Amino acid sequence: MHQLEERLGYRFRKRSLLDHALTHPSVGHEKQRYHADNQRLEFLGDAVLQLVITEYLYAKFPQEQEGALTKLRALLVSREALKRQGHALKLG
């Protein structure tokens, strides 16, 4: 986790939360027992990411109409865009 923190330029206060956030549901299936996964955190993170991106676009492009901002936001938070960011951060 230390290498990830270095790549992000951020030190997590609760490393257990970071571990939880990065744990895919398949871990529980592989281990044949319950294992806390990231599904609820993913739900929360999606909403936070939408809000942060929305606020940024709203401020950055004051003349743009709602439809254009919505399309741009959709591109920025798309699975493909986030996948590229994950690979760039070497999240695997």
Pairwise pLDDT comparison (18 vs 59), residue with the higher score: 59
pLDDT at 4: 84
**Reported pTM:** 0.71
pLDDT at 1: 75
Cα 48 to Cα 90: distance, rounded to the nearest angstrom: 22
Backbone angle region of 6, left / alpha / beta, with phi > 0 → left and psi within -120 to 50 → alpha: alpha
pLDDT digits (tens, 9 = 90+) for 39-86: 888 899 899 999 999 999 999 999 999 999 999 999 999 999 999 998
